[in-house]
Structure 1
Amino acid sequence: MTTYAVTGASGQLGRLIVESLLARGAAPADVIAIARTTAKVEDLAERGVTVRFGDYTDSASLDAALAGVDRLALVSGSEVGRRAVQHANVIAAAERAGVSRLVYTSILGADTTSNPLAAEHLATEEALAASSIPATVLRNGWYLENYTGQLATYAETGTVLGATGGATIAAASRADYAEAAAVALLQDAEGEVYELGGTRFTLADLAAEAATATGAEIAHSDVSVERLATTFEEVGMDPGAARFWAAIDASIAKGELDTSSTALADLIGRPTTPLADAVAAASRG
């Protein structure tokens, strides 16, 4: 019997990885959902999944959560600026627990991109390489939900604002990436790095799909990175955060969230979610 554990199971991606493991045949009794807020995954416990408390900043909780785990999906944390240390805590606990394989959700082109989100992912990849645990690194591209979650704002303002210079983005749904993580956890391949991306589109394409789905007049407005940062400040973001998030669009403009890799579709055995489908689904709520 192989025991599979998923960290961050109370979050959106972690929960979907658990769901994908079950959908792909893992027995509920063999799956452990590790969460900081266990109340959010009580429904998984009702289905036979073991639920354990685990906090990336609490080594004792991680030791308890990983006891008896064979294979672990380490879902990257949400606290930007604290993640490298948090992930290192999980890796160290996994070593102490004797975990035999680890799958980590990184970011597209982690070792080459200027994306400001990448540094902590790269540090985690380096920690994994230095550890004794064979690891599979899934370098996830952008989530479609990063855009479809703003559909109401696009309709209200009539604008998809960005500073991407018309560059292409290769994005997939959160469910697509979660399924890939489940497949990687279940399969025997080790020590591989996958560059993952899905449907390729520009922000102008996004605006067109948003207009179709909502019936609103929506156009793409491409501005400079500096203007985008200023706009973020004008809506209440502090200057440091505004520059950080605007720098992501600068990275996109360099083509750093685009890929022609088919690895994601190959892993999950189906086409990734089309942009039009994701936008239409979001418009229906």
Structure 2
Amino acid sequence: MSEQVTDGVLVTGANGHLGRLLIRALAHDPEAVPVRAVVRSERAARSLDDLPHPERRDVRIVDYRDRAGLTEAARGCGTAIHLVGILKQTRVNRYVDAHERPAEALSAACAEAGVSRIVHTSILGADPASRNGCLASRGRTDEILLASPVPAVILRVPMVLGPGDPATDALRRQATAGRTSLVRGGAAVQQPIAAADVMSALLAAARPGMPSDTVVELGGPESLTHRALVERTAAVLGADVRFGTTPLFAAHAFAWLAETLFADPPLTRDMLGVLEQDDAIDPEPARAMLGIELTSLDAALRAAFAEESAP
């Protein structure tokens, strides 16, 4: 870690799953790097109270779109790690307010505060030209940060496997339901990555010697269909699972209806599009550049379900 950060680390979205893992990793670093944790509410701030070494942590409550507030929070930090993003847009939580506007504010704030590097987590498939609203918004956000006067590294990752992660919880529910119906029978190809590997990648990307103004696409070491992933999860949990198929048109129809009826729908068409895209990249170039090792899928699943795994 001593080669990565010389001053404090600004962490936006600090109360999210990855934010908590990152703060925990930094708390155990022997260099005792101070953390400036940025969250949006008192409740989010309190959620960090159980993390180790609170004396190294300065929690700030700031709207992610507030340039002045972020500038003040960033002062004294050498690196900003931006973990803000949503998969599902609702009537009151729009992609532009969750992605582009926070990125614009962070870029300006870091430049004014003298931050030397921004590391941002994005998702595989992010592309401003995408027809999918989430992927397009993510792609525009990546471009905003790459155009920043502060050197930036964009880390695009697929599904993340870790204890308490929403995707991991969804896998658990599917694997232990007895019978689960998957969209297209679970044909989507996925490349899940261990949360611990994402932490290693973020910290590696923060090193001063790493290339900047670049996009790094990193996935787990294995690509497989969603059905096969549920089967592997069931095996780890000692569960038996049978499968049904939900046609894609039916899932789209449900998502459209949910968007029409609910302010906060359980599923949206953009969300469905991200979940059903195929992730199958070669992780080796990014792994080698970052200088990290990747956890095998089975080991990642065992770690994610450590308290529930079959003996």
Q: Shared topology, TM-score over 0.5?
A: yes
Q: Which runs of 5+ in 1 are unaligned?
A: none
Change (3 A) 1:46 1:21: closer
2:228 and 2:61 mapped to 1: Cα distance?
Answer: 42
C-alpha contact 1:204 1:219 (8 A) present in aligned 2: no
Q: What do you get for the CA RMSD once the two structures are aligned?
A: 2.9
Change (3 A) 1:230 1:210: farther
Change (3 A) 1:44 1:165: closer
C-alpha contact 1:141 1:170 (8 A) present in aligned 2: yes
The superposition leaves residues 7-46 of structure 1 with CA deviations (integer Å, 9 ceiling, x where unpaired) of: 1111111121222334454424x33222223222234562
C-alpha contact 2:237 2:305 (8 A) present in aligned 1: no
C-alpha contact 1:109 1:195 (8 A) present in aligned 2: no
Residue 161 (structure 2) pairs with residue 135 (structure 1): no
1:50 and 1:69 mapped to 2: Cα distance?
Answer: 11
Q: Which position in structure 1 is the counterpart of 2:121?
A: 105
TM-score under structure 2 normalisation? 0.77
Greater helix content: 1
C-alpha contact 1:203 1:220 (8 A) present in aligned 2: no
Change (3 A) 1:160 1:92: farther
Q: Which position in structure 2 is the counterpart of 1:4?
A: 9
Residue 74 (structure 2) pairs with residue 66 (structure 1): yes
Change (3 A) 1:25 1:120: farther
Decide which moves more: 94-103 or 167-176: 167-176
Q: Which position in structure 1 is the counterpart of 2:3?
A: none
2:146 and 2:202 mapped to 1: Cα distance?
Answer: 18
Change (3 A) 1:117 1:276: farther
Change (3 A) 1:229 1:128: same
Q: Which position in structure 1 is the counterpart of 2:90?
A: none
Partner amino acid for 1:5?
Answer: L
Where in structure 2 are the equivalents of 1:1-285 lying within 5 Å? Answer: 1-28=6-33, 30-36=34-40, 37-42=44-49, 43-44=51-52, 46-78=54-86, 79-81=93-95, 82=97, 83-111=99-127, 115-144=132-161, 145-150=165-170, 151-159=172-180, 161-163=182-184, 166-189=187-210, 190-198=212-220, 199-230=222-253, 237-239=258-260, 241-250=267-276, 252=277, 255=278, 257-263=279-285, 265-266=287-288, 267=290, 269-275=292-298, 277-278=300-301, 281-282=304-305, 284-285=307-308
What's the offset of the Cα at 1:228?
A: 2.0
For the residue of structure 2 that corresponds to 1:193, the secondary structure is: strand
C-alpha contact 2:160 2:192 (8 A) present in aligned 1: yes
Change (3 A) 1:142 1:229: same
Partner amino acid for 1:32?
Answer: R
2:230 and 2:28 mapped to 1: Cα distance?
Answer: 34
Q: Which runs of 5+ in 2 are unaligned?
A: 1-5, 87-92
Partner amino acid for 1:41?
Answer: L
Partner amino acid for 1:95?
Answer: A
Length, aligned pairs only: 278
C-alpha contact 1:13 1:75 (8 A) present in aligned 2: yes
What's the offset of the Cα at 1:56?
A: 0.4
Partner amino acid for 1:88?
Answer: E
Decide which moves more: 18-27 or 98-107: 18-27
C-alpha contact 1:154 1:160 (8 A) present in aligned 2: no
